[in-house]
Amino acid sequence: MIVTLTNQKGGCGKSTATMNLALGTAALNYKTALIDADEQKSCIETLQDHSKQNLSLYEAGRDVDSLAMELKDKFHYIFIDTPPHSHHIMFQAMAVSDFIIIPLQASPLDIRSAKRTIDACEKVQEEVGRRIPCYFLLNRVNPRTNLSKEIGAYIRELYTVPLLQSRLHNRVAYAQSLMHGKSVIEFSRSSDAAVEVTNLLKEVHRIMQDK
């Protein structure tokens, strides 16, 4: 199963979510690969000195599709982190994916700027001739506000892409845990961040298993 996290908008949380999903999946005893297809190498550099059971890291560029296909039978799950702005790499990664997650910050500007990514996602599905489940993931939601309903309605007005029920709030734990090469779950199992990533993992795994 290949899962791509993508959004052409920079800084929306692709790498943070990819690392937490890959680390969380590996901790559930699935053989997991993380392909870092961004030349910034955020995931590789953050995790390379912290070896983990069941998690293998790979770098890729324009060969991301062939690498993912080569690894597909060797792993239960492959998570691909994509760069901002590179249409080509995003396209290649989406084309070999079984599942696409588009992290999105809960602001109208970020929501509107996802249009290019959604258009690319639709084009990829036309080109490969198969439906690829694609979901938004709301990230950096302010825990002290209750904007979720309003934001959900705003997204539904603009797009048909569904929103994952799980969302990630704006929490220092996301940066702090990665400073130690850990997911928020490994860092502090009882934290609010760990609870929301656990819920996200459950939801993503449930959707993939129903597929």
Beta strands in 13-139 (DSSP E): 32-36, 55-59, 77-81, 99-105, 134-139
Among 121, 168, 185, 200, binds ligand ATP (CB under 6 A): 168
Sketch the per residue contact string, 16 through 35, with ligand ATP: x for CB under 6 A, - otherwise: x-------------------
- Residue 120 has which token pair? 């690319």
14 binds Mg ion (CB under 5 A): yes
Q: What's the min distance (Å) between Cβ of 13 and ligand ATP?
A: 4
Chain-centroid distance of CA 24 in Å reads 12
Q: What's the min distance (Å) between Cβ of 173 and Mg ion?
A: 18
Nearest C-alpha neighbor of 79 from the set 153, 15, 13? 15
42 binds ligand ATP (CB under 6 A): yes
- Residue 151 has which token pair? 């934001």
Residue 168 and residue 177 in contact, taking contact as beta carbons nearer than 8 Å:
no
∠ CA(199), CA(183), CA(57), 5° rounding?
115
Q: What's the min distance (Å) between Cβ of 93 and ligand ATP?
A: 13
Residue 168 touches which member of ligand ATP, Mg ion, none, C-beta under 5-8 Å by kind: ligand ATP
Residue 101 and residue 95 in contact, taking contact as beta carbons nearer than 8 Å:
no
- Residue 128 has which token pair? 């490969």
Q: What's the min distance (Å) between Cβ of 182 and ligand ATP?
A: 13
14 binds ligand ATP (CB under 6 A): yes
170 binds ligand ATP (CB under 6 A): yes
CA distance 77 to 31: 7
177 binds ligand ATP (CB under 6 A): no
13 binds ligand ATP (CB under 6 A): yes
Chain-centroid distance of CA 41 in Å reads 15
Sheet holding 2-5, edge to edge: 55-59, 32-36, 77-81, 2-5, 99-105, 134-139
Sketch the per residue contact string, 40 through 79, with Mg ion: x for CB under 5 A, - otherwise: --x-------------------------------------
Among 146, 149, 153, 175, binds ligand ATP (CB under 6 A): 175
Q: What's the min distance (Å) between Cβ of 165 and ligand ATP?
A: 16
Q: Which is nearer to ligand ATP, 90 or 130 (CB)?
A: 90
